[in-house]
Structure 1
Amino acid sequence: MALGPRLELRQGQALVMTPQLQQAIKLLQLSNLELQAYVEQELERNPLLERVEGDGAGPDDGSEPFEGGEEVTAAAERLDLASDSVVEKARDALDADGDSTFTNDSGYDAGDPGNALSSNFMPGRGGDPRFENDGSFEQTPSEVKNLREHVQDHWCLMPANAADRMIGQALIDALDEAGYVTEPLSEIAARLGVDVDDVEAVLLDLQTIEPSGLFARSLRECLALQLRERDRLDPAMQALLDNLELLAKRDISGLMRICGVDQEDIADMVREIRALNPKPGLLFGGEPVQTLIPDVYVRRSADGNWLVELNSETLPRVLVNSRYYARVSRDNKANGADKQAKSYLSDCLNSANWLVKSLDQRAQTILKVASEIIRQQDGFLRHGVAHLKPLNLRAVAEAIEMHESTVSRVTSNKTMATPRGIFEMKYFFTASIAATDGGEAFSAESIRHRIKALIDGEDPDDVLSDDKIVEILAGKGVDIARRTVAKYREAMNIPSSVERRRLKRAGLLKVG
């Protein structure tokens, strides 16, 4: 049979990831900060998108009860917009129902920043909240100084000539946020054209600035400066500082031999070192601390069940400005706009509609997944980590009839505020440990908690070995191997039983 080219028409089905669908999937796994940044970019790019200001109150809130008596509450603002076939297909792909408008009202009253700002406004004072009350100077809060400003103020009051001032400024510029001089003195001296001895002399003056420990070149020097101020830098303490690596290895016998002291003295010296500040520069702050804002709130209702609510602060509210679209369309038609302008306006409308729908789907999907997690982990919320159940993505996906990959994306980079603290959603998914009687399995996280509780409560003269911990857990119905106990113990940075016995007797490890 001869081979040759030929034309052949075949028909088949295939799932194609459109750009819009890829965008919607990407939104699912974005954190709240990443989502805010993404929406800001879309608002700048698309003239038909508009941010919803104020409370954006919509119709009555809806509640969706789930099995067990718990409720999921969420408020949604609705606005009918044009839809297309691509959007309808994407709804099924994302396992969520979408609406044409997205809002972050969830029944949770987070307040209105706009109203808060307007309430602080005072005529003639530019709305500055510092001028509240009587506006006197005493009522004005002082500005918190950073590390360099604090050091500069003290350096200006210290006597020094022009050359020393120049050297001091270079040393101040070399400070990192922890208060250490990060640049070698030899390089500073070479750059300024002075002797290293002159730089060291100025450094000694700067090291007298409070708090003690500033301008150190190493951890050893930082601790020594603080101990010298307390008049506790004797030869034995200096020997201990010179061998901090042995302390890190918990080599107590080696430290006793080098320092020439007994075990009790070593314990006292270690306690003194622990009371010091290894990073004194951080007392003055640094970069602004980013507050962790949870994506979901879980609270107890009046009837004792759990209410799961989306955090309105993490959900950007946007809508499509249909009036602007209608006006521009009329102007284009009246002015005989070209095909390119009409195509651009149509693309903007489709993109805006898709973003609004995707945001709404994202919110609904997060709420649905979080509600199922809380239903599964009711014991954890009521009784603590010891009652955390083993859970995997497949169990949640099957319960809410979604794909496992969708649940994985939803739980990535998301946090949940519960009465027991703020946790990543991934925290609630743990491996299972079988029960000895074949009953309900235990979660790996609850077993780690039990192991730590046993070790924290052990007596220094009766330290629990890994085999003994296995025996105790087996008595409580936990079927676990010794190597698993050792793995969990090492993951929590807990020393072996032999090392714990030595450290607890020396007073270097907390008992109980």
Structure 2
Amino acid sequence: MAPRVAFPGWKPNLTASASKQDDRVLISAMSVMRFDTRQQTKLGQQMKLAPRMIQSMEILQLPLPLLQERVEQELESNVALELVEPGDGATEIRTEGEAEVADTEREFIAGESGEDFQRLADLENRYRDVWDGGEEVRRPTAGAGERDRKMDAMANTAERGKSLTDQLDDQWRLVEVPENVSVAGRRLIEYVDADGYLGADLETIFEQGGGLEIHDWSISLLERTLERLHRTLEPPGLLARSKQESLLLQIDAIVELEGDGEGSWTDAAVLIGEHFEDLVQNRLPKVSKDAEMSLERVQIAKALMRQLSLWPGRELANPDAQFVMPDVIVEYEPENDAYIAALADGTMPVLRINPQVEKMREQPELDHDGKTFIDTAVRDASWLIDAVNQRSNTLLRVVRVVLERQREFFDHGPQFLKPLPMTEVAERLGVHVATVSRAVSEKWLQTPRGMYPLRRFFSGGRETGQEGQEKSWEAIKEMLREIVDAEDKAKPLSDQKLADALKEKGVEIARRTVVKYREQLGIPPARRRKVHATG
């Protein structure tokens, strides 16, 4: 007997005949399970970025070194893109008597004889591996005896510096020591941190090196090796286990080289070794009493310590150092009493579409695939040239607004920097604020007052109370720096007094804000700025 199916809201009728009401309930329940298809029209909007727009935004945001690298890559990969050399025209006219032109530099001309097409086929067969990426691509120079500007620029570019570990390893390999000491030294060098300190204790290094096949592997071997490293590596103070040890190693090296006739370096070593914490906190009277030195001797020793480095490793490899190239140069024009902005000359190559490639497009013998390839190459080259030009135009427009709004900065200095939100610049230029943000990202200005990141001129601020004038946060920091520089060092101003001094100049901010700005400027608190009087 087949099972009966029960639907929600329906109960089977046990009588012989079902009522009409039960039939309606059954039909209603079954209608819930009905499946059907319908057509529906929906109106909506969707934004999609074209590849050309995406490329333009990427080019706009790139800093100058990365943009140059991007252009170099395109020059290598796109046959339709060409670098315009100074004085180079669309075609070259060679006079009689010149050296014969190489096949790779002769212009392809479609003739009835088909000689040039045969030459093209020969070149393809000859350089197939290069064009397919099997060999390194080498571009011919402009002519015999001429210097290739691109190759010169690449040759003059500083190579990527070696890491601190590699430089120390190079020094250590020149030292004549037993084999096990040499291997243990290289093992210790692997633990150096960016500041030049040993990044782990000897017990940890010993445990982690247990699997190494080093003769007499022990803590004692590591200690002897570390001592030899301290005496050998330059600059002194490397692979120290603490700041105190690093400073003492540097003092030992100076005394060994220059001597210590007046004993001031010896005093400095005593203060660092026995009174380091009080010295850091500038508790000089307490240091003088505990060390049984006159306050004058303590201050002389402290002044000598300025020759020492707390980060000896950064003298060899500084991860914070960066190579900066100005995108825009700002100069003052006295005739018009105005600041003029121009793109840095020579930083960006001048690009164009290779005319020979364009002519090949019109050759009737070229098949469909060849025409498609040339069309794609020419289109990509045009997009890149347009994107680079758009980047230059947008950058100059942004800089001109900055020169207008920040005129007092260029005339009088950083303390006159005004608030300049990106939204204001975007409204004036009629572009989106994201475009302004990309335009200023990692761009640099070379000005009569020095080199500045373009983003520095865009900051918030507040009204100073002097006729509603506005001061940017950067300008307020410069005012704070000036107040600290002018204070009486025997009685340095506390953070609250610094806030009061700023209030007198029309800038009212809280004490905690003064503390934040002071720390950002690297200014120590009052107790550490105090200069103790002698005698």
- Alignment correspondent of 2:26: none
- Alignment correspondent of 2:384: 355
Q: In structure 1, what residue type is equivalent to 2:368? A: A
Identity %: 28
Q: CA deviation at 1:488?
A: 2.1
Q: CA deviation at 1:244?
A: 4.8
1:440 maps to 2:469: yes
Change (3 A) 1:146 1:381: same
Q: In structure 1, what residue type is equivalent to 2:215? A: G
- Alignment correspondent of 2:236: 213
* C-alpha RMSD over aligned residues: 4.3
Deviates more, 1:192-201 or 1:242-251: 242-251
Q: In structure 1, what residue type is equivalent to 2:324? A: L
1:267 and 1:5 map into 2 onto residues whose CA distance is 92
- Alignment correspondent of 1:46: 78
Kindly name which structure, 1 or 2, has the bigger radius of gyration based on alpha carbons: 2
1:462 and 1:161 map into 2 onto residues whose CA distance is 58
Q: In structure 2, what residue type is equivalent to 1:220? A: Q
1:430 and 1:440 map into 2 onto residues whose CA distance is 15
Contact 1:236 1:259 survives alignment (8 Å): no
Q: CA deviation at 1:440?
A: 2.0
1:41 and 1:225 map into 2 onto residues whose CA distance is 48
Deviates more, 1:300-309 or 1:4-13: 4-13
Q: Deviations over 1:357-377 (max 9, x none)?
A: 111111111111111111111
- Alignment correspondent of 2:530: 504
- Alignment correspondent of 1:83: none
1:328 and 1:312 map into 2 onto residues whose CA distance is 34
Q: Deviations over 1:289-310 (max 9, x none)?
A: 7531110000112413212110
- Alignment correspondent of 2:67: 35
1:149 and 1:323 map into 2 onto residues whose CA distance is 51
Contact 2:490 2:532 survives alignment (8 Å): no
From 318, 329, 333, the equivalent of 1:297 is 329
- Alignment correspondent of 1:197: 220
Equivalenced residue count is 420
Counterparts of 1:70-109 in structure 2, within 5 Å, are none
Change (3 A) 1:18 1:313: same
Q: In structure 2, what residue type is equivalent to 1:192? A: I
1:280 and 1:396 map into 2 onto residues whose CA distance is 44
Contact 1:147 1:285 survives alignment (8 Å): no
From 342, 346, 364, the equivalent of 2:393 is 364
Deviates more, 1:393-402 or 1:479-488: 479-488
1:315 maps to 2:348: yes
Q: CA deviation at 1:175?
A: 6.7
- Alignment correspondent of 1:394: 423
1:479 and 1:167 map into 2 onto residues whose CA distance is 59
Counterparts of 1:185-264 in structure 2, within 5 Å, are 186=206, 191-194=213-216, 195-209=218-232, 213=236, 216-218=239-241, 219-229=243-253, 230=255, 237=269, 240-241=272-273, 244=276, 248=280
1:217 and 1:397 map into 2 onto residues whose CA distance is 52
Q: Deviations over 1:379-436 (max 9, x none)?
A: 1111111221221112222223322221111011101010111111110112122132
Counterparts of 1:476-491 in structure 2, within 5 Å, are 476-491=505-520
From 334, 343, 352, the equivalent of 2:365 is 334
1:240 and 1:288 map into 2 onto residues whose CA distance is 28
- Please report the TM-score for the alignment, with normalisation by the length of structure 1: 0.68
Change (3 A) 1:164 1:451: closer
Contact 2:409 2:415 survives alignment (8 Å): yes
1:420 maps to 2:449: yes
Q: In structure 2, what residue type is equivalent to 1:337? A: H
- Please report the TM-score for the alignment, with normalisation by the length of structure 2: 0.65
Q: CA deviation at 1:276?
A: 1.9
Q: Deviations over 1:192-213 (max 9, x none)?
A: 2224434533543443337572
Task: Name stretches of at least 5 consecutive residues in structure 2 with no aligned partner.
Answer: 1-31, 91-141, 150-154, 157-165
1:27 and 1:342 map into 2 onto residues whose CA distance is 28
Contact 1:222 1:278 survives alignment (8 Å): yes
1:392 and 1:46 map into 2 onto residues whose CA distance is 40
Q: Deviations over 1:148-170 (max 9, x none)?
A: 555555x34xxx56665665676
Q: CA deviation at 1:256?
A: 6.9
Name the SS for the 1:207 alignment partner: helix
